[in-house]
Amino acid sequence: MEMETSTANNLKQKIEDNSEENNQKWTVIETADLESVDQFWSSIEILNKNLHIVLPRVCGSVLAFSGKLLSPLNKKAINFKSFASFNLGENGNAVDILEQLKVCGMDIEMIEDTEIYDAEVCYITVQKLILNLQGISTNLWVLAIIDHKDNEAMYVLLQSPTQESTSAKLKVQSVFPFKICYKDCSIRLMKVENDKQCDSYWLKNTLLTKLLKWAHSLPSSKTPVKSLSLIGIEEYVKLYHTLKEKYGSHMVKIWPERTDPQKFVYEDVAIATYLLLLWQKQQEEAGRPQWMQSFVDLGCGNGLLVYILSSEGHVGKGLDIRKRSIWDVYPESTKLQVDTITPSDNFLFPDTDWIIGNHSDELTPWIPVIAARSSYKCCFFLLPCCFYDFTGNKYQRQNTELSQYADYLEYLKYICEVCGFKIQIDRLKIPSTKRICLIGAKRTHIETESDMIHTNILQLLESKSDKGKNVGENGSSEWMSGFKARESVERVRNCTQLDSGLRVQIVTMVTQHLLAKRRLLKVMTDNGEEKMWNAGGVMSIGEIAAAIPTSLLQQFKNECGGLQTLLKNSHHIFFVHNGNVQFRTPENVHNKTAKNKHSKRKKESSVLKHKIKPCWFHENHPDGCFLPDEICTFKH
């Protein structure tokens, strides 16, 4: 007790020492125009709720303390060294933080309402930053002083770097302290004067860019979904790195599929991490710590998710319309089977706890239906990607005021409500633009009302049937007469299977139309002399399609990408960009985007390709090639 009192007195003495040596002076490093103070506070509010998304190597933040000052704070006399002396460790709680802030001389009161609204009050918040790195033993704690009266927000670290700090941790620490102010219709970014460690580049190019984007964004009536809101972020980071080390590295090395293992392996590791923690939370709420939930993954694809969940002790299986090469790598405990899943009474799982729909394509809207009709206890996890309706056709957007993705999510939520689920929404941390998942773990009805819910489901399906046929009529067990499953054999649909004669015919037609839009450029001949070369015009894909006979277009209308894909495959002839087509000319042959994208591959293979293939322009263009023979990589 005496030691604690002595430490507190020493810390308080540091605060009270307001000499010029300890006082902090701020300097403006960047300013930007901003119309109103309301825009400023709108952006600060978003920053406070999402501080982790602007910081390097940070995957999440947790609000650990929120309070308001009862008496004015002399911000000019703040000594940041005192904040660096905070001792919060791994699990500092609000009471600990309050006591240490009081020791620092703050007359402060803890509050539960974290919304900042009173213009006469200065608010103090403390957030715990969770670093997305393995082996990090200490979290970072950030104190924010939110002063509406002076229109400024200050952010300071509560712990100083230690000798054990990693380079990544030091990277995060280098951005603090900083201050954001609003004055004279401009937002000002400030750092401590003579702070050579401050990452000014990050402040100007990352933080300020985000603040301005948030300030100018239209206010939304809907609160955005926060990442991993249904589970603990700290637990997620720890378990993710454990599973990544346990399964990820090995699977990346032996991955036999054509897909990118860096994306698909670690994405499934992340999804498995989320599900395991979600199920652990369900176990705790049910008071059944030994309960290992069973599962069925419908449309399991490569089966990696099934493999990880099964290896972690959960009994389950995966079904898919076709087998993948990776299936042979998994142990016998990983249950995977080939099956064409047709929504019907034949595909119910009454003894299963969870139905999983992870990028389940045409089965996506059926996942909550199958879960609801399987049993009252059956839950589901749904991560939608491609947009399908009940019939297996592409979903047609209903609300044009929303994006197609947002509208599809609303469509799925409506289905879940009809199926009697109290839906929960969360955002996963995966390398994908489609990261919103729907969780159906709770019901809106009691078990005795299940028959009523099943009736509502049948009425919904009947209204969505493309043939207007009653669901299950004439004794059929199928729920949707018009449902179309995927083909069991994946078709090659990139125009590479087209007849070579047809490809030549299309290329010739496009060439003639481009040449007719005559445009002359000066180019060099093999003799070093100048000549005029017809670079042709620019046509849209639609204009080209209209100029090609319908009979020819029908021959490749089912190919993925169609006409545009065919022209892109002929990239040595045509330059396709933003839906427009023109010849590959001296103006775009060295296009920066294409050069950056393929520079490494071209460098590795340039020796092999040089002068092997014939030059299309040399043989087919009326004016020959636009490059001299010694420069052109194709054979003249």
Domain identity same for 451 and 599: no
In the block, tokens 């590295």 appear at 249
Same domain, 448 and 570: no
Asked whether residue 306 is assigned to any structural domain, the reply reads no
The pLDDT of residue 605: 40
Q: Does residue 76 lie within any of the structural domains? A: yes
Domain, as residue range, for 371: 341-475
| Residue where a domain stops, chosen among 192, 216, 240 | 216
Does 169 share its domain with 59?
yes
Q: Give domain status of residue 62, yes or no.
A: yes
Is 162 part of any domain?
yes
Q: How many domains does the chain have?
A: 3
Neighbours of 500 (CB within 10 A): 7
Same structural domain for residues 133 and 183? Answer: yes
Tell me: do 30 and 170 sit in the same domain: yes
Q: What is the DSSP letter of 325?
A: G
In a domain, 65, yes or no: yes
Q: Quick one: 466 and 510 in the same domain?
A: no
Asked whether residue 288 is assigned to any structural domain, the reply reads no
534 shares a domain with 469: no
Residue 311 is assigned to a structural domain of this protein: no
Q: What's this model's pTM, rounded to 2 decimal places?
A: 0.69
In this prediction, residue 595 carries a pLDDT of 42
Residues of the chain whose pLDDT is less than 50? 1-22, 163, 221, 468-470, 472-475, 591-609
**For residue 505, what pLDDT is reported?**
87
| Domain-embedded: residue 328 | no
Beta bridge partners of residue 510, listed in sequence order: none
What lies within 8 Å, CB to CB, of 528 at 6+ separation is 628
Tell whether 58 and 160 lie within a shared domain.
yes
For residues 11 and 155, membership in a common domain is answered with yes
**SS3 state at 413:** helix
**Closest to 302 in 3D by CA, of 287, 316, 322:** 322
For residues 470 and 520, membership in a common domain is answered with no
Query: Which residues have C-beta within 8 Å of that of residue 22, sequence separation ≥ 6?
Result: 14, 79, 81
Backbone angles phi, psi at 617, to 5 degrees: -65, -40
Q: Verify that 48 and 182 share a domain, yes or no.
A: yes
| Per-residue three-class SS string for 459-478 | HHHHHHCCCCCCCCHHHCCE
Residues 382 and 504 in one domain: no
Per-residue confidence (pLDDT) for residue 328, from 0 to 100: 94
- What share of the chain in percent tops pLDDT 90? 40
pLDDT per position as a tens digit, 60-102: 888 888 888 888 777 665 666 667 667 776 667 788 888 888 8
- The CA distance from 175 to 501, in Å, is 61
Closest-CA residue to 360 (of 318, 327, 330): 318
- Evaluate whether 495 touches 569 at the Cβ level (below 8 Å): yes
